[in-house]
Amino acid sequence: MLMPLPLTIPSARPRVTLTVWLADLTYTQQAVSAETMPQAVAGLATYAASRMDLDHPVRLFKYPEALAEALEQDGPPDVIGFSHYIWNSQLSLAFAGLIKERFPRTTVVFGGPHYPLRLPEQTVFWRERLAGRVDFYVDGEGEAAFADLLLALSRRDRDDVRGSLPGVHRMNSDGTLYAPPPRPRIHDLSDVPSPYALGLMDEFFDGKLVPTVQTNRGCPFKCTFCQEGTSYFQKVAKKNTQHIHDELHAIGRHMKPLVEAGTARNELLITDSNFGMYPEDHETCRVIAECQRLYGWPRVVNVTTGKNQRDRVLSAVAQVPGAISLSGAVQSLDPDVLRTIARTNIDAGKLMEIALAAADTGTGTYSEVILALPGDSKAKHLGTLRQLVDAGFNRINMFQLTLLPGSEMCTDEYRSEHGLVTKWRVMPRCYGSYTVLGEELRAAELDEVCVTVPEMPYEDYRECRVMNLLLAALYNDGLFTALPAVLRAHQISPMTWLERARTLSHGPALAAVLKEFAVETDEQLWDERTDLLAYATENIDRYVEGHLGNNLLYTYRSRVLSEALDDTADPAARACLAVLRETGVGVGGGSLVEALVREAAEYHRLTLADVFRTDPPEVLRQSARFDLDALLAAARRRDGVRDPRSFRLTESGMREFVLTAEQQRTLSTYMGQFGTTPWGVGRLLTKVRLADIVRHVRMTPSPGTAPAPAGTESSRT
């Protein structure tokens, strides 16, 4: 009897037997530097698994210690991929170099935005940094190109895989770089299965890392300093609403017990470039609000909101009141600078309207400014700050111009055309040493910052940095908000107040902090990358211990608010009185205006006094002559606060400044993660909303707490 032959049906999905590891490394010794969960490399894993049958699940790594342990205990994989960003480049290269030395058969793949745009610069980049350590670099989007590479490596030797795969670059032994153009981008991001929904991210809910998602990718704007400003990223790809719903709820279920136990920061990071600008973002905010109700998470959503579409952005964010701060990331308000950096398709005025309209609903607002952009000058930079302060933003984030390899601004042609003079510095918190396979690996990350442009000599650059520090310390987050309120009532710009505070004499503590800031601004900058890299790796311990390599603006702001808080409140009050006097406001001889200003400065000092101690006093007290809470409420409503008699108490009272139990838990969580050193507190101040940690103010019961009617007592105004 003849038996039929079994039919062999070819699988629609190829089988891949390679062992694959993916690493999105971060430094960990001073603090966890890049606190994001490794969702980007996890997306490479889920996309690859959707296109092929992997005999071995892809392993993911975030911490260098975990990767070192795996190499020691489990041996090398067939393929290891590293994310390559400005904050982990040298760390990834250190691991890659050792792996190639010990396990030359392992294929090392890099991918990420820290890679030049053009072939001549890519060739130099390979020869100086990648050669001998990296086999392939994925240029452009990674998911599809990395999957193509895995399939190719499963079928043939890696030496035969060169120049044949779009976006997969490889340097030949003779120094020839094979660099085909990037693979076309993914049109529907839902084609990348969610690593959260599939459980790949479970191990990273450890209380240290922040859940990170991307609901769309790409940017329609063309800013020359940004890696998404190129034509490759002009179109925006999106995830569908069901994908986002499932992903956020999967995260929420993991975060709920951590948040309830107080062992994790109650945050979500969305890496979209223009959140709120698209109709789908409205539904995303609805899902976030749903997660807040079900899981008590997220309390804070960190995201860059859209640069256009004012009403759409406001409508989306209104669904999660208080969770998202509205951004007006203008970078500069000078028309010539904006033209030079190709931001002409962004209406800076509309951008400010978005944030300021949100302020009327109680939503936090912030703007961003970059120092030393092409065409910038001291007058233009300070003028931009003045306009933003006058517009009412309650926080201005001030950055130095970093030249990113994947941006147009970093090309040789652009540098030469616009006269950019740059120096190198060590990136804050991005350094460490790790024992791997019995060897010590030392690494530190550097970034290249512009310090001089034709209209801004270095001396002006440094003075702008000092003004940035004073603005951050005196103005940002409403630290002394009653004083700008009084000034605005008299049509005086708070920037005039800040500039006057710069010129006044300072107490010894504040004077020392400002002097050391200027000195360290100079000392952290190096002319040659290789010299600084050698110095940093030799002195890693000094960096880890906090003696070197800190974010100066954050660190010195924390020093102003801790070491020099008393000295800071005094010039804040004196500068306010000085500019009032110059405009004809009577402030001498014990006037009510002077009394109000001095009481307000002391009020704000006490809200922050001793907050950053591990054992802060629970209650502080102040005698009260004015109802400052009423004044601040009137200022928020944009009512008049010109007449101090409107806020005079009929009888003096006593004010108490209290740290609540919830605030103490918040501070304990953050200081436990970042420490109580100046650089640790500086980092804390970038992550927590100041309103969440400043002392609550209450008046002791008294029959005389009602404001006196205007006109009941003469006032020198």
Span 674-711, pLDDT tens digits: 777 777 787 777 777 777 788 999 988 654 444 433 33
Query: Which of 308-317, 394-403, 632-641 ranks highest by mean pLDDT?
Result: 394-403
Boundaries of every domain in the chain? 15-140+142-178
Give dist(CA 359, CA 653) in Å, integer.
31
pLDDT band at 11 (very low <50, low <70, confident <90, very high): low
Model pLDDT, residue 690: 75
Span 383-393, pLDDT tens digits: 999 999 988 88
Model pLDDT, residue 636: 82
More confident site: 80 or 691: 80
Nearest to 21, CA basis, from 6, 38, 33, 5: 38
**Who contacts 456 (Cβ-Cβ below 8 Å, separation ≥6)?**
372, 376, 377, 378, 381, 464
* C-alpha dist (Å) from residue 252 to 202, 249, 295, 442, 647: 12, 5, 6, 37, 45
User: H helices of 613-677, where?
Assistant: 628-636, 661-674
More confident site: 306 or 679: 306
**How many residues are recorded in the chain?**
717
Element (H, E) at 354: helix 348-359
- Rounded to the nearest 5 percent, the helix, strand and coil shares of the chain are 45, 15, 40
pLDDT band at 7 (very low <50, low <70, confident <90, very high): very low
Q: What value does the mean pLDDT take over residues 375-382?
A: 98
- The DSSP code sequence of 121-179 is HHHHHIIIIITTT-SEEE-S--HHHHHHHHHHHTTS-GGG-SSSSTTEEEE-TTS-EE-
Span 506-533, pLDDT tens digits: 999 999 999 999 999 999 999 999 999 9
Q: What value does the mean pLDDT take over residues 241-264?
A: 96
Strands (E), 223-358: 237-238, 267-270, 300-302, 326-331
Q: Out of 3.40.50.280, 1.10.10.350, 3.50.50.60, 3.30.70.270, which CATH number does the structure's domain 15-140+142-178 have?
A: 3.40.50.280
Q: What value does the mean pLDDT take over residues 224-234?
A: 93
Span 563-599, pLDDT tens digits: 899 999 999 999 999 999 999 888 777 789 999 999 9
Model pLDDT, residue 31: 85
pLDDT band at 362 (very low <50, low <70, confident <90, very high): low
Give dist(CA 568, CA 501) in Å, integer.
9
